[in-house]
Amino acid sequence: MRRPVRLPIGILGAILAIVATPASAHVISAQNGGTNCYGDVPCDATHVDGSFEVGVPGVNTNFYYVHSSTNSDTGHMSLASALTWIDGLRPSNAQDLADSISEHVVLQRVNPGPVVVRVTLVLGGGAHVEGPLSSLNLSGRIDFLGCSMFADRNYYATTVTDLEGVEGSCDGGTEAELVGSALVVTATLAGTLPTYPEVQAQLQASYVYDAPGSVIDLQWEGDFSVELTNATAIWDSPTFLTQAPEPGADMLGAASLLVLAMRAGTARRQR
């Protein structure tokens, strides 16, 4: 069954770090990020990291960890999180995590003829879930000129669904598709170019844990890119997408080690 495109959840505003340029429209966010920039002074930050943890892996039966990163220079976003609830009261932790990039652009046609803008978000990573009442949803979303592409995958203790794409409202020469693990929006602009359009990308993880014995371990990444044909671009951030993406191997490895430590500690206590 096709689901509606998921929009950013309202409560995320309280826990996302926002980097914004009031004079333009350069905005990036990372879950639990510690960098904030508001007011009338332009902020040119292009990289935000965030982390949060409660408990000690291998020591506490209940443990929660999040690490995130968003880089608009490379277009790379990543989320890593680990949670265990073995006994006691239900932990009160954030259940919706997100990173995002938003950038406005001035397009200039090079030669007569159509301009083509191709926006892509390549998803990668995975997860492990334990517990009969535990579940996890990993998703990504891109948007350009109101044409959006959303895709998600669900994880349960015994099953994992395929990555499923949902196309948003696309018209006026725009189209959206899911190509393997890549979300793609393509706009073919034959006439007057749009004024100051915006490209958006979001990475999100949402999970549920409703009984002791819950374990959730996720590693989720997205690489955002924009390809232009017959056009040049002036972005609000001069360094937007000027560097090649570098996978966050250290961050993802850290999350895996934390989960292994949690499981080892739990096993020792259950002997």
Residue 215: closest CA among 269, 266, 257: 266
Q: 50-84 burial by CB neighbour count: b if 16+ within 10 A, else e?
A: bbbeebebbebbbbbbbbbbbbbbbbbbbbbbbbb
Q: Residue 156 pLDDT more than 70?
A: yes
CA dihedral sign of residues 222, 67, 58, 89: negative
What pLDDT, on the 0 to 100 scale, is given for residue 246? 64
Q: Are 78 and 66 in contact (CB under 8 A)?
A: no
C-alpha span between 136 and 218 (Å, rounded):
9
C-alpha span between 86 and 61 (Å, rounded):
6
Tell me the pTM.
Answer: 0.82
Please give the backbone phi and psi of residue 144, each rounded to the nearest 5 degrees, phi first.
Answer: -150, 125
Least confident of 18-22, 27-31, 147-151, 197-201: 18-22
pLDDT category, 247, cuts 50, 70, 90? Answer: low
Q: Are 44 and 240 in contact (CB under 8 A)?
A: no
Q: Percentage of residues in the chain with pLDDT exceeding 90? A: 55
Residue 101: closest CA among 246, 198, 243: 198
CA dihedral sign of residues 130, 68, 50, 41: negative
Least confident of 33-42, 106-115, 136-145: 33-42
Q: Are 236 and 154 in contact (CB under 8 A)?
A: no
225-228 contacts, C-beta under 8 A, 24 or more apart? 225/75, 225/119, 225/120, 225/121, 225/122, 226/117, 226/118, 226/119, 226/120, 226/199, 227/117, 227/118, 227/120, 228/107, 228/115, 228/116, 228/117, 228/118
Beta bridge partners of 176: 185
Residue with the larger pLDDT of the pair 11 and 139? 139
- Highest mean predicted confidence (pLDDT) among 4-8, 54-58, 130-134, 180-184: 180-184
Q: Residue 258 pLDDT more than 60?
A: no
Q: Residue 267 pLDDT more than 60?
A: no
